[in-house]
Amino acid sequence: MPEIKVTPLGAGQDVGRSCILVSIGGKNIMLDCGMHMGYNDDRRFPDFSYITQNGRLTDFLDCVIISHFHLDHCGALPYMSEMVGYDGPIYMTHPTKAICPILLEDFRKITVDKKGETNFFTSQMIKDCMKKVIPLNLHQTVQVDDELEIKAYYAGHVLGAAMVHIKVGSESVVYTGDYNMTPDRHLGAAWIDKCRPDILISESTYATTIRDSKRCRERDFLKKVHETIERGGKVLIPVFALGRAQELCILLETFWERMNLKAPIYFSTGLTEKANHYYKLFITWTNQKIRKTFVQRNMFEFKHIKAFDRSYADNPGPMVVFATPGMLHAGQSLQIFKKWAGNDKNMVIMPGYCVQGTIGHKILNGQRKLEMEGRSTLDVKLQVEYMSFSAHADAKGIMQLIRMAEPRNMLLVHGEAAKMEFLKGKIEQEFSIDCYMPANGETVAVTTNPSVPVDISLNLLKREMTLGGPLPDPKKPRTMHGTLIMKENSLKLVSSEQALKELGLNEHQLRFTCRVQLQDPHSDSDTLHRIYTHLKSVLKDYTIQHLPDGTVMVESIVIKVSSSAEDANAKVLLLSWSYQDEDLGSYLSSLLKKGLPT
């Protein structure tokens, strides 16, 4: 039976990274190539030995697809392509291609320069890796080769995030990556058509979560900012220059207007340049409505948000500053942090995950004394707030997505199957589809039932109809006889005669003959009659005739009797049958060899 194989790479129960292998129709595809942010050693990379014990991966993979720029989905890509070795195509959307190398470089700098690690990819490797990237547009079918095609769908979640549809022949798989089903401020919700893939692959953690509303997260953000401003404190918000940062800016601007607040809001200059660059990317990725309501309100049209100058950090009184980089690991945001950390009226709001080794990571772990360069320590007295704004689907969302795509099977990664029986049951019951939950490192083979369209000749169809019986019914299959002709990409079912004619062949009939010797002193006709009687008693279900031309016929098998030339008491039976009656013919010859009853 045809099957699609799916293996999430990784060991044990770890859920920190995504890297999934799919084998479909003879093609091997790697979905995402994430880094596990919790490990400091080689365990952070996916275990590629599953693909091959040594050597490059190029021969074993037809393509690699990256869903979005988060490090737990693309962090190990340069390691895979340049250190393990892969020269084939890497597919991702345009925004992902633009943003990935920046995040990878930042990550590399932190890991190598700050933490002094050695077995890590270099800046050149990141560049070489990105040269292998082929960018994707939404809803555009891309032929990877003459059998494998892929298509990207909008996933929401972050700028450039895509769900990907993979098709080989009539088998297909959809991988969701990270997505959200409720519209976000600047991103909208994921969408896919009723593509009915054989398997829909998604994260199991979504399915067991019920997410707090965006409104409440934003409320918490505004509340904290407002409280800090009201007591005269300063708020630092380290951000990456995109999407979420703009969203928070617009939120604050609107809030300031509504509440008639006077405290200044600034964004640092580094942010402006980057924001402009990504702003252009953003335009092509969003639709009319988003462009109108969100993108057009860019950095330069804010009434209350102004460009930051580093001397402002020393100004007295309340203020809010957006600054890069997002994890406080260098640059302006770190400089501002150092100035403001000592005052307990101030606040720093971290809107996202921080990589190990950064100041951001340390303060989010509760560290209140930081070692800075030159052995000085920094006392962290300001309030540290960790807020998550990322848009993710949840239990309700995953059911909505299944309803949208109508997969034949569901596959959830990064969960413990033993602890997910209810979830499995829920999906199986509601949609009557199987739900698979492979452990990391385990391969699941999903049997597919690809439908193969075949044309049938009218003659053949008519002939079958005249045979009578009930009309063809999917629930009551009927066997029929014909010849299947596969020409180019089409399949045709025709009658045997027509096939022979098309091939220019003559029809032949095969007949077998067999001689059986019997000891029988009677006359030829008596022997024949005895044979007739014997067979009639043994073969009750068959048509047996004693014909006037001196033969006995069993169905289409002909039996003749003649005397033996050598022995007067012996008879020679001649049996003859056509190929269709081979079984009966063999049976008869063995039966008659045993002799006749007296």
Partner 1 sequence: MGETEAVEIDDILDDWFIESLKSYKDLHVYQLEHPTQIIEWTSGKTVCVAGYSSGKNEILELRLPLKLLADEKKSLCAERDFKVVHGGFSEGPVCCLTHIPGTRCVVTNDGLTSDLQLWDLGADDTDVIRKTGSLQGTSVSQAGSRIAARLSSPPQVLHGAQSSSVQLTQLGTGQTLYRLEVDSTEPLSSLKFVSETAFLASCCDGTVYLADTRTSAPPQASPPPGECALWWTDASAAPQCSVIRLSSSGQAVVSDLRNLGGALCRAQLDVQTSPRKPEDVTVAWAPALDGCFSVSGLSGLVQIYDSAGWRAEPQDASPLFQHAGHSVSSQHGDGSAPVFITTHVWHPERPRTVLSAASDGSIHVWDWVDPQTN
Is residue 395 at the binding interface for partner 1, with CB under 8 A as the rule?
Answer: yes
Q: How far apart are CA 165 and CA 110, in angstroms?
A: 35
User: Which of 70, 69, 66 is closest to 33 using CA atoms?
Assistant: 66
Dihedral of CA atoms 404, 13, 100, 280 in degrees, nearest 10, equals: 30
Task: Tell me how far the alpha carbon of residue 306 is from its chain's centroid.
Answer: 44
Handedness of CA 200, 205, 207, 213 (dihedral sign): negative
Is the CB of 132 or the CB of 224 nearer to partner 1?
A: 224
Nearest-5° Cα angle at 118, 114 to 124: 90
Is the CB of 362 or the CB of 571 nearer to partner 1?
A: 362
How many chain residues interact with partner 1 (CB under 8 A)?
A: 62
**Each residue of 453-463: b (16+ CB within 10 Å) or e?**
eeeebeebeee
Is the CB of 5 or the CB of 226 nearer to partner 1?
A: 226
Q: How far apart are CA 19 and CA 5, in angstroms?
A: 14
Q: Least CB distance from residue 239 to partner 1, whole Å?
A: 15
Is residue 260 at the binding interface for partner 1, with CB under 8 A as the rule?
Answer: no
Q: Least CB distance from residue 111 to partner 1, whole Å?
A: 23
User: Which of 161, 18, 188 is closest to 93 using CA atoms?
Assistant: 161
**Interacting residues with partner 1 between 121 and 140 (CB under 8 A):** 138
Written as one letter, the residue type at 526 is D
* Residue 303 backbone dihedrals phi, psi, to 5 degrees: -80, -35
At 99, list the tokens.
Answer: 């943003």
Q: Least CB distance from residue 383 to partner 1, whole Å?
A: 6
At 515, list the tokens.
Answer: 């001689």
Among 32, 62, 198, 385, binds partner 1 (CB under 8 A): 385
Is the CB of 214 or the CB of 536 nearer to partner 1?
A: 214
**Interacting residues with partner 1 between 161 and 180 (CB under 8 A):** none
Is the CB of 418 or the CB of 568 nearer to partner 1?
A: 418
Q: Least CB distance from residue 295 to partner 1, whole Å?
A: 11
Q: Least CB distance from residue 40 to partner 1, whole Å?
A: 22
At 595, list the tokens.
Answer: 């002799």
Q: How far apart are CA 362 and CA 355, in angstroms?
A: 9
Q: Least CB distance from residue 141 to partner 1, whole Å?
A: 17
Dihedral of CA atoms 165, 166, 167, 171 in degrees, nearest 10, equals: -90
Q: How far apart are CA 24 and CA 107, in angstroms?
A: 33
User: Which of 18, 196, 2 is closest to 10 using CA atoms?
Assistant: 18
Among 91, 154, 337, 577, binds partner 1 (CB under 8 A): 154
Is residue 191 at the binding interface for partner 1, with CB under 8 A as the rule?
Answer: yes
Task: Tell me how far the alpha carbon of residue 399 is from its chain's centroid.
Answer: 17
Nearest-5° Cα angle at 282, 278 to 286: 170
Q: Which of 171, 203, 247, 385 is catalytic?
A: 203
Is residue 286 at the binding interface for partner 1, with CB under 8 A as the rule?
Answer: yes
Is residue 366 at the binding interface for partner 1, with CB under 8 A as the rule?
Answer: yes
Q: Least CB distance from residue 401 to partner 1, whole Å?
A: 11
Is the CB of 365 or the CB of 519 nearer to partner 1?
A: 365
Is residue 210 at the binding interface for partner 1, with CB under 8 A as the rule?
Answer: yes
The one segment of 288-296, 460-468, 471-479, 481-489 that binds partner 1 by CB under 8 A? 288-296
The one segment of 14-22, 314-322, 388-396, 433-441 that binds partner 1 by CB under 8 A? 388-396
Q: Least CB distance from residue 152 to partner 1, whole Å?
A: 12
Classify residue 459 as left (phi > 0), alpha (psi -120 to 50) or beta: alpha
Q: Reading across the β-sheet that carries 511-519, which strands appear in turn?
A: 511-519, 570-578, 557-563, 551-554, 544-547
C-alpha distances out from residue 591 to 12, 240, 416, 511, 531, Å:
66, 90, 64, 19, 11
Is the CB of 135 or the CB of 183 nearer to partner 1?
A: 183
Mapping DSSP to helix (H, G, I), strand (E, B) and coil, where does residue 337 land?
helix
Q: Which residue in the block uniquely carries the two structure tokens 């091997």?
A: 28
Q: Least CB distance from residue 50 to partner 1, whole Å?
A: 28
The one segment of 47-55, 232-240, 414-422, 447-455 that binds partner 1 by CB under 8 A? 414-422
Residues 6 or more apart from 79 whose CB is under 8 A from it? 35, 45, 120, 121, 125
**Interacting residues with partner 1 between 43 and 82 (CB under 8 A):** none
Is residue 216 at the binding interface for partner 1, with CB under 8 A as the rule?
Answer: yes
Among 190, 237, 261, 275, binds partner 1 (CB under 8 A): 190
Is residue 524 at the binding interface for partner 1, with CB under 8 A as the rule?
Answer: no
Is residue 295 at the binding interface for partner 1, with CB under 8 A as the rule?
Answer: no
Binding flags for partner 1, 422-451, as an x/- string (CB under 8 A): xx-xx--x----------------------
**Interacting residues with partner 1 between 302 and 361 (CB under 8 A):** none
Q: Any bridge partners for residue 348, and if so which?
A: 236, 384
Is residue 289 at the binding interface for partner 1, with CB under 8 A as the rule?
Answer: yes
- Is the backbone peptide bond immediately before 325 cis, with ω within 30 degrees of 0? yes
Is residue 251 at the binding interface for partner 1, with CB under 8 A as the rule?
Answer: yes
Among 187, 235, 380, 402, binds partner 1 (CB under 8 A): 187
Handedness of CA 156, 162, 163, 169 (dihedral sign): positive
- Asked if 203 is an active-site residue, the reply is yes
Is residue 120 at the binding interface for partner 1, with CB under 8 A as the rule?
Answer: no
Is the CB of 83 or the CB of 384 nearer to partner 1?
A: 384
Is residue 231 at the binding interface for partner 1, with CB under 8 A as the rule?
Answer: no
Q: Helix/strand/coil (H, E, C) string of 282-296?
A: HHHHCCHHHHHHHHC
DSSP state of 291: I
At 257, list the tokens.
Answer: 């207007």
Residues 6 or more apart from 325 whose CB is under 8 A from it? 106, 238, 240, 331, 333, 334
The one segment of 44-52, 264-272, 364-372, 471-479 that binds partner 1 by CB under 8 A? 364-372
Q: Least CB distance from residue 362 to partner 1, whole Å?
A: 11
Q: Least CB distance from residue 254 to partner 1, whole Å?
A: 5
Active site amino acids: 203
Binding residues for partner 1 (CB under 8 A): 138, 154, 182-191, 208-220, 222-223, 226, 250-251, 254-255, 258-259, 286-287, 289-290, 293-294, 364-366, 383-388, 394-396, 399, 418-423, 425-426, 429
